Amino acid sequence: NWDDVSVSKANLKEIEKVMKNVYIETYGCQMNQADSEVVGAIVKTAGYDLTNDLYEADIIFVNTCSIRENAELRVKKRLIEFDGLRKKKNWLKIGVLGCMAERLQTQLVEECKVDMVVGPDAYRDIPELLSQSNKKAGISVELSTEETYADIVPIKLDTNGVTAFISIMRGCEDFCSYCVVPYTRGRERSRDPQTIIAEAKDLFSKGYREVTLLGQNVNSYIWNKGKEDEINFAKLMAMVAEVNPLLRIRFSTSHPKDISQELLDTIAKYENICNFIHLPLQSGSTRMLQLMNRKYTREDYMAKITAIKNTIKDCGIATDIIAGFCSETLEDHNNTLEMMRWVGYDSAYMFNYSQRSNTLAAKKYPDDIPYEEKTRRLEEIIELQRELSLQSNRKDVGKEFEVLVEGQSKRNDKQLFGRTSQNKVVIFDCKDFKPGDYVKVKIVDCTSATLFGESL
């Protein structure tokens, strides 16, 4: 029947698409995880299928991070492995997304033989790039001043069904001198609050019980600036908190220079906004902070911590620290250690300084702390943080916390794990509890990384 043939010819393009499995691998920050979920939605809408199995993939996307050299090296190694897969599967397409795509552009095609390079603001171009069947690599790396993907409902990848990210703004204009992000993610822009609330409601109705509002500097969130109905970050937090008292709210990340008293008051006011603040210090030395272009002094930072402690009862505080930034002396380093003790951080992400080309620091200051010395300082920082985390956890033994269950403990399938409002991981016996439940737990023991409890 010739009619059938013509139908199938017309549908051939569609059928080709349906045959195509997309596998997405994500590196880097939470923002990248959220972006991969947007990409998932874009390709699914265009008729592709998502797969978790690399060996089923017809198209591989790697969402990448440029923040430190190590992160890029890891991805480049992975791209060599993917190129190897293509030798057995010659139709396989490999695409690089995210910050490395933006930073390296055609270099990735030449060096790593990838078929597609798509920057953080160009994900809507992916279906078009995929449908081009010519041999030339597809590149789309235009940055935007408007794109927020506000209308796209992300497809949850790798989800526990309980906690989710919501991206509320994109880009960064802070230009910390060491940081590549303003160059790879472009100008700051905020997402329409109504779409954020709609996403939070939708997640709640699907059983999610915690959302983390994401942005490179969430305090810069602003909608309808200067107008009567202006919404800043504190107001947005309150709006999301009103969605449902059983929906926990977190946020990441705040820049210390602009975390406001209004935000702290909002966190204190709403029971379901978690008592936890991630406040990157980077260095405890005012001289270093100036070279880093952080726009606050050691004293300013201490004042913010005091305000947090005075406003929010039992607030967990975490931070980021960079060891061995340009010209850092032992005195600067000791200032960092001293500050860590003074704050008593509950947890920290700690890194060796990694010079990134084109940043202010790369242009102006020599990367003059030898690798061994950077590493020695970093190890001192890590060891101190381990002690501080242990001290902080020991203080919790004997106390009761409300824990939101996220899943089964990895070590013991008769135990569950969840988090306190302060973002600490608690392990306790399953009984009849399940992911998504709120459970009152009394802490009976701890390590520096984990609390162990008994449900009440």
Question: Which residues of this protein are in contact with ligand 5AD, per CB under 6 A?
Answer: 67-68, 178-179, 280, 282, 320, 322, 351, 353-354, 356
Task: Tell me the window of 1-9, 178-186, 300-308, 385-393 that interacts with ligand SF4 (CB under 6 A).
Answer: 178-186
Question: Which of ligand SF4, ligand 5AD, none sits in contact with 216, Cβ below 5 to 8 A by type?
Answer: ligand SF4
Q: Between 264 and 292, name the residue whose CB sits nearer to ligand 5AD.
A: 292
Name the burial class of residue 354, with classes exposed (0-12), middle (13-18) and buried (19+) by CB atoms within 10 angstroms of its CB. Answer: middle
> Which residue, 155 or 179, is less far from ligand 5AD as judged by CB?
179
Q: Count of residues binding ligand SF4 (CB under 6 A)?
A: 10
CB of 167 to ligand SF4, least distance (A): 14
**Cα–Cα–Cα angle for 87, 93, 94, rounded to 5 degrees:** 95
Is the Cβ–Cβ distance between 446 and 452 less than 8 Å? yes
CB-CB contact of 353 with 325 (8 Å): yes
Q: How far is the CB of 217 from ligand SF4 (least distance, A)?
A: 5
Side-chain half-sphere exposure of 427, counting CA atoms within 13 A: 15
With CA atoms as reference, report the closest residue to 374 among 303, 321, 319.
321
Rule CB under 6 A: is residue 99 a binding residue for ligand SF4?
A: no
Q: Per CB under 6 A, does 304 bind ligand SF4?
A: no
301 φ, ψ (degrees, to nearest 5) = -65, -45
- Write the interaction track for ligand SF4 spanning residues 196-225; mark x where CB under 6 A is met and - where it is not: --------------------xx--------
User: Of ligand SF4, ligand 5AD, none, which one sits near residue 353, judging by CB under 5 to 8 A according to partner kind?
Assistant: ligand 5AD
In this complex, which beta carbon is closest to ligand 5AD, that of residue 148 or of residue 319? 319
Q: Does 255 bind ligand SF4 (CB under 6 A)?
A: yes
Q: Residue 174 binds which entry of ligand 5AD, ligand SF4, none, with Cβ cut-offs from 5 to 8 Å by kind?
A: ligand SF4
**Cα–Cα dist 73/69, whole Å:** 6
Least Å distance, CB 249 to ligand 5AD, is 21
The item of ligand SF4, ligand 5AD, none sharing an interface with residue 428, based on CB under 5 to 8 Å by kind, is: none
User: CB 17 → ligand 5AD: shortest distance, Å?
Assistant: 37
Which of 24, 97, 179, 381 touches ligand SF4 by CB under 6 A? 179
Question: CB of 339 within 8 A of CB of 300?
Answer: no
**For ligand 5AD, the closer CB: 27 or 353:** 353
Q: Which does 255 bind (CB under 5 to 8 A by kind): ligand 5AD, ligand SF4, none?
A: ligand SF4
Query: Which residue(s) pair with 242 in the sheet?
Result: none
Tell the smallest beta-carbon distance from residue 369 to ligand 5AD (Å): 12
- Residues 381, 370: Cα–Cα separation, whole Å: 17
Q: Toward ligand SF4, which CB reaches closer, 60 or 169?
A: 169
Q: Which is nearer to ligand SF4, 155 or 381 (CB)?
A: 381
When the beta carbons of 351 and 417 are compared against ligand 5AD, the nearer one is: 351
Sign of CA dihedral 355, 357, 359, 364: positive
Per rule CB under 6 A, is residue 181 in the interface with ligand SF4? Answer: yes
Cβ of residue 325: shortest distance to ligand 5AD, in angstroms? 8
Per-residue contact flags (x/-) with ligand SF4 for residues 148 to 177, judged by CB under 6 A: ------------------------x-xxx-
For ligand 5AD, which is the closer residue by CB, 90 or 358? 358
Closer residue to ligand 5AD, CB minimum distance, 57 or 101: 101
182 in contact with ligand SF4 (CB under 6 A): yes
Give residues in contact with ligand SF4 (CB under 6 A). 172, 174-176, 179, 181-182, 216-217, 255
